[in-house]
């Protein structure tokens, strides 16, 4: 019988304990952790996502502040805002919502975020720390997968994990997280991407398969091993419906454990952002 992981339940559980820790933090230090979100231009997907972040903040008792700039904002103006937020004592975490308008160098902006407040883990210093196995923050989506695996007691050590996707947001940091020398990591890994020849040759060997491609239902039934654990990070809109990278219905009875889309990894991601914001608030207190 396949176990279908309920990401909404896990997100709720994490949030309950997080909210209690935030409230303890507020009582102890008389500071409310605050997340500042910066966006430029009115990208509809970004607007929706920022609304979800605001809700997550509310649920975790974390303050939320939105800086919504017009699309003609210059790079220098954006850098100035980041500099102010970096210095601001009440701001614990900063995220810069992408995409930014085309005339703005996204990497330059992300690098400008103080690594201590970089709760999205986009600053190269934080990604470098993760690559060295000494992370300060974990990027929220692969962090959500890691947390889900821990909570469902999915032991990676001793198994063959195949990750499809090597983006800086999901696939690559996912690999780095699972390579750490610690419990629920110590993975033996294969990473596939668009230049992989014969993708199914690799996916069929996966005891644990993590799909982070962004191609609806690219992982078909004949591409997975009997009894595999399947984590689907993909979120693709098809005809107004959200579908994953895994052909869920046809793969379901072949997997031992599977995450659905929607309702799998997605709901956990924003809670991990809240967790990083509390950690950042703690770092600020220690550094004072
Ligand atoms: P990217 O487009 O940045 O990366 C996709 C990766 O998949 C790339 O490494 C690419 O290879 C690889 N790829 C593309 N086509 C193929 C193929 N045919 N065979 C094998 N590999 C392929 O996407 P993201 O990593 O940002 O996102 C991946 C998915 O995860 C998306 O559906 C996205 O919506 C979802 N997502 C979900 C989140 C959540 O909270 N649940 C949060 C973030 C993303 P190459 O490097 O060679 O181009």
Among 7, 46, 49, 165, say which to mutate for ligand 1: greatest number of ligand atoms within 8 Å of CB: 165
Dig out the tokens for 48 from the structure.
């929706």
Residue range(s) in the chain whose domain bears CATH number 3.40.50.10860? 30-116
Q: What is the distance between the alpha carbons of residues 206 and 69, in angstroms, rounded to a whole number?
A: 45
pLDDT(288) > 80:
no
Atom 30 (ligand 1) nearest CA = 234
Q: How many CB atoms lie within 10 A of CB 20?
A: 12
Average pLDDT score, the chain = 97
pLDDT above 70 coverage of the chain, percent = 100
Q: What is the distance between the alpha carbons of residues 104 and 71, in angstroms, rounded to a whole number?
A: 10
Q: Which atom of ligand 1 is nearest to the CA of 166?
A: 9
Q: What is the distance between the alpha carbons of residues 259 and 7, in angstroms, rounded to a whole number?
A: 8
Per-residue model confidence (pLDDT) at position 52: 96
Q: Is the CB of 169 under 6 A from ligand 1?
A: yes
Q: Is the CB of 261 under 6 A from ligand 1?
A: no
pLDDT for 1-34, tens place per residue? Answer: 999 999 999 999 999 999 999 999 999 999 999 9
221 exposed, middle or buried (CB, 10 Å; 0-12, 13-18, 19+)?
Answer: middle
Per-residue model confidence (pLDDT) at position 15: 98
Per-residue model confidence (pLDDT) at position 132: 97
Q: Is the CB of 119 under 6 A from ligand 1?
A: no
Per-residue model confidence (pLDDT) at position 118: 98
Q: What is the distance between the alpha carbons of residues 62 and 91, in angstroms, rounded to a whole number?
A: 11
Contact in structure between 231 and 149 (CB atoms under 8 Å): yes
pLDDT for 67-117, tens place per residue? Answer: 999 999 999 999 999 999 999 999 999 999 999 999 999 999 999 999 999
Q: How far is the CA of 178 from the centre of ligand 1 (A)?
A: 18
Of 51, 39, 44, give the one whose Cα is nearest residue 97. Answer: 39
Q: Which atom of ligand 1 is nearest to the CA of 268?
A: 40
Report the topology of domain 30-116: Rossmann fold (3.40.50)
182 exposed, middle or buried (CB, 10 Å; 0-12, 13-18, 19+)?
Answer: exposed
Residue range(s) in the chain whose domain bears CATH number 3.40.50.720? 140-266
Contact in structure between 174 and 161 (CB atoms under 8 Å): no
Q: Is the CB of 171 under 6 A from ligand 1?
A: yes
Q: Is the CB of 30 under 6 A from ligand 1?
A: no
Contacts with 227 (C-beta within 8 Å, 6 or more apart), sequence order: 254, 255, 256
Report the topology of domain 140-266: Rossmann fold (3.40.50)
Q: How far is the CA of 36 from the centre of ligand 1 (A)?
A: 26
Question: Any idea what DSSP says for residue 246?
Answer: B
Dig out the tokens for 13 from the structure.
């559980």
pLDDT for 222-240, tens place per residue? Answer: 999 999 999 999 999 999 9
Label residue 138 by pLDDT band (50, 70, 90): very high
pLDDT(287) > 90:
no
Q: What is the distance between the alpha carbons of residues 124 and 117, in angstroms, rounded to a whole number?
A: 13
Q: Is the CB of 170 under 6 A from ligand 1?
A: yes
Distances (CA, A) of 38 to 100, 199, 209, 268: 10, 38, 34, 22
């Amino acid at each position: 019988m396949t176990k279908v992981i309920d990401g909404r339940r896990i997100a709720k559980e994490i949030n309950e304990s997080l909210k209690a820790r935030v409230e303890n933090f507020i009582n102890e230090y008389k500071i409310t952790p605050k997340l500042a979100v910066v966006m430029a231009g009115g990208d509809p997907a970004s607007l929706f996502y920022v609304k979800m972040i605001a809700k997550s903040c509310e649920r975790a008792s974390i303050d939320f502040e939105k800086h919504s700039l017009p699309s003609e904002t210059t790079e220098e103006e954006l850098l100035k805002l980041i500099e102010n937020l970096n210095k601001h004592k009440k701001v614990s975490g900063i995220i810069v919502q992408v995409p930014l308008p085309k005339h703005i160098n996204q990497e330059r902006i992300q690098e400008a975020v103080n690594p201590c407040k970089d709760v999205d883990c986009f600053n190269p210093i934080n990604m470098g720390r993760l690559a060295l196995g000494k992370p300060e923050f974990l990027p929220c989506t692969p962090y959500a997968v890691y947390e889900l695996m821990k909570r469902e007691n999915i032991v990676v050590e001793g198994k063959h994990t195949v990750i499809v996707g090597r983006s800086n947001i999901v696939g690559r940091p996912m690999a780095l997280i699972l390579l750490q020398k610690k419990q629920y990591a110590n993975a033996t890994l294969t990473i596939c991407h668009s230049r992989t020849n014969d993708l199914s040759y690799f996916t069929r060997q996966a005891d644990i398969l993590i799909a982070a491609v962004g191609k609806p239902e690219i992982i078909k039934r004949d591409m997975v091993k009997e009894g595999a654990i399947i984590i689907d990070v993909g979120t693709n809109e098809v005809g107004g419906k959200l579908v994953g990278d895994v052909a869920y219905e046809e793969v379901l009875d072949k997997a031992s454990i599977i995450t659905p889309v929607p309702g799998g990894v997605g709901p956990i991601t924003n809670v991990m952002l809240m967790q990083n914001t509390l950690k950042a608030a703690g770092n600020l207190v220690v550094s004072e």
